[in-house]
Each structure stands twice: as C-alpha cells, then as structure tokens.
A and B are shown apart, each in its own frame.
Chain A
C-alpha cells in the first residue's frame, strides 16, 4: 500500500509530459471557442432576426409594462369565474352542445368526402401517376387554408350561425383526411389484396375485403384524433360568427364581463379535456395502446 500523495504532486505527476502532449494534440488545444463557432454564428443570426422582429412589430417597453399591468387587472377581475344566473349557465351549455355538434358533423362530413378521395390518391389503388400527383397538390392547397378563413367564406354563403361552422370544419379537414387516408391505404399489406384477386375476386371486392379491413381501424383512429382537435377549432370559430361557444366569448370580452369570460374559458377547458380523454380511450380500444 503506497502512501497517499498531496493533490498538487498528483497533478504534477499527471502533467509530467505536458509539453509533449501540447505538441502532439495542438489541434485540440487551440482557442476554445473555435469548435463552437458555427453554432454561435447561427445563434447570433437567429437572435438578430428576433430583435429585428420585435422592433418591426412595434414592441416597446412602455407598451409591454402597460399591457402587462392591464392584463393583471383583468386577471384579478376575472377571478372567481361567475356566470351570475342559471339561465346563463344553461345558455352556455347549449352553446357547448352546439360546439360539439359542429366538430362532430364537420369531422364526419370531411371523413365521408375524403374517403373515396383517399383511394384516388393512393398509389397502390390508382396507378396513374398524374392523377396521384394532382390529387396530392389539391389536398395540400385545401389544407393550407385555415378553418377560420373557410368559416368567413361559408358565412357569406349560408349566413351567420353554426351551419357555416360545420361546413368550414368539413372543408378544412378534407385535404388532411384525404392525404392521411391515402397514406394509410398505401401502407396496407398487398398480400391480402392479392389473395382476394387470386381467388377470382373483382377489383372492388379486393378493395372491400383486402384493403378496407386493414385501413379502417387506422382511419377511425385518425378521425377520432381530428374530432379532438376540431373541438378546439369549434370553440373559436364562433369568434368570427360561425356558431358555438366562441360567439359568447367574444361577446363577453367586448362587453367587458370578465367573470363571464373566465367561466366560459373554464367550460371550454373542461370540454376539451373531456373529449381528449374519451377520444384517447376510444382510440386505444381501437388500435391498441402501442400505436398512440
């Protein structure tokens, strides 16, 4: 057993060959910041653009402090949430039902319309490359238009109210659904189709018995997922006049009834969380926990 050495002499022992090391590994001993240089340049550029954005968009210190204190005042007035009368509660619940109805119907209509379109855009069903590419482009275009824009357009056509909301949600999701469906169909196993075809089935039968059973669970799960996210969308399309609880929300903010506002927000949060929960359960029962 050797005697323990003091720390300084240990360091000396370790660095006995410092000069030789420095010579052999000069590259690793250069200025420390050099290896990180690109990272720093990228970070600096991002930050500069950020500052430019703040300046361009009109951020000022006074504005932030003023708005911030204003926000604190509003928060104080908001609490506790208070609908004041039962009639109001019933009214809001009715609007929530409307919201759910909008999300449900919008999702369903989108899914029904997108279903055949999905087959159209699936490479393994329609082999015409031209149709395939065009279909994908059209879906992307439709997808790029926000649900709120659709809502405004439909209001011009069918007037203010929840029906415009249903149509808006349906339109904004057709593109996404068609794309997702076609991907699910493309990912399906060819063997089942070949099985049906080889036993003398027609092409339609092959799709019905070979493809459908495989893609239906996936599609159902995706539709449920979109229903979930459409519940969120449906709560806000009322802000532009397309039905649902958003209408009351913007109304109450305009008339500065802050306790009503917070009550509505709480109702929205509860509804969205409940739908999340139920939809996750359903999806899990459809496709198993692993794929969520």
Chain B
C-alpha cells in the first residue's frame, strides 16, 4: 500500500503540487490525468524522490520514503522503477547493457564498475526483452531504435529492477497509435501477470478509461478526482480540463473512431 499524505511541492512560492492525499493498494493500475502543468510529473517524480517534496509524507508498507537518504533512498528507487516520456536511455550503449542498468542495485559495486554482468543478470535482462518481443535487438545501440522500441527497452530496464511499483510519466506521449497500444498493453500485462503496481501519467482520457482501474485527476497541483474510471463524468472532466474539456472529449472520440 502506497500512502501519500499532505504532499506538497512549491517552486519559488508557487505550488506545483499541493496537499495531495491518496492511497494506492498493491497491484492496482492507476492513471493520473489532468491538463499540462497540473502537477502530474511532479507527483510521480516526488514518489521516486527525483524531486524532494516541501511538505507531507510518502509511505510504502510502513516505510517512510520521504526521509530516506543514501543507500536507503537508492534501495527505494530500485523498488519503484520509473519510465519517462523521452525514454532516458543511454543512446550510445547497446540495448542489453541499457536493460542491465536496472540491475545495478542487485550486484556488487565493483562488478558494475567493470561491467562484468553475471550470467543470471543477463538472462533476466534477455527474458524481459524477449517478453517485449525485442530480444533480437539486444546487441544494437539504443539510439538506433525507433521510439516505440526504445520505450519497450525502458520498460525492460524498469522490469529487471524487480520493482513493486512502476511509475510511468507519459510513456506514450511521443509514440504513434500502434506503439501506444503495444506499450500500454505491455504495462497492463506486467500489472496483471506480475502484480506490479503501475502509476501512469496520461494525457488521453480514452486510454485512461481503457487501461486503468483507478483514475486520479489533478488540476493546478491539487487532486480533484479520485475514483474508478466510470465515475468520471462530463462535469468533472470539464473541471479537470477547463474549457478544453469538450475538445478533449470530442477529439478523443474521433481518435477512437478512426483508430
């Protein structure tokens, strides 16, 4: 159970996230929605502690995440893997090594420094790639892959961390519809088969409704909606997206029709 209480983050007096209170049970697939600048990325990055909260606490199964430093913090980051919109892979390095980056915390430091990966670590990385259907690309440089392939490599890196949570910050925002479906399906598979909690920032309401079993709506740094997708009415969407709401709904409707 991930319990967030009173979590806030301010930049030069302005809140990017303000007094967030949510509880996320293990194994759920949560979508975080809201317009640009609502504070979705800030929330996810605070959970991974890439951004330090200015107030409030994050708690996971009784572990106070907000006060962790050093090895404890790195241990937490291993347990909550992160996926980025821009993939954040090391472009000049081959795919397998990129995936093995996710195992850094599971091996002695000297082995990591000398890049002597154990056979088991390499097997785990290959297994992850295989399940994503890209094991044949293992020896290629990451920057030679398409966006969709790169994002699947990034998911593999997250997966081999053997995390309890995967945080995905707009994982499909720079992908085409086909790759969008591929990546979202993989996230769903990970969630269903391995029981890993997935928290996913999404722009598209439609995708959020399709994949998530709970939605968190944010506006101006606050949580304004927290319920099952069915509870997301037109009114609430309007509150989330302001005047854009009609457009967003219409556009997404059109998208689903054409897709």
Contacts and interface: CB of A to CB of B under 8 A. Distances in A.
Q: Do chains A and B touch in the complex (CB under 8 A)?
A: yes
Interface of A: 1-5, 7, 10-11, 13-18, 21-22, 24-25, 27-29, 32-33, 36
Given A5-B194, A28-B96, A11 B162 contact: yes
Interface string B186-200: 000001111111000
A51 B138 CA distance: 39
Given A2-B192, A4-B195, A28 B127 contact: no
B213 A13 contact: no
Contacts of B123: 15, 18, 21-22, 29
Contacts, number: 73
A24 B197 CA distance: 31
Nearest to B130: A21
B162 A10 contact: yes
A29 B138 contact: no
B134 interface: no
B131 A14 contact: yes
Interface residues of B, number: 34
Interface centre among B118, B126, B128 (most CB of A within 10 A): B126
Given A2-B192, A24-B135, A25-B135, A14 B124 contact: yes
Contact of A4 (B26, B29, B96, B131): B26
Given A24-B135, A32-B116, A11 B195 contact: no
A28 B162 contact: no
B122 interface: yes
Interface in B106-128: 114-119, 122-124, 126-128
A21 B126 contact: yes
B47 to A, nearest CB: 17
9 contacts: A3-B195, A4-B197, A7-B162, A22-B123, A25-B126, A25-B135, A28-B126, A29-B122, A32-B118
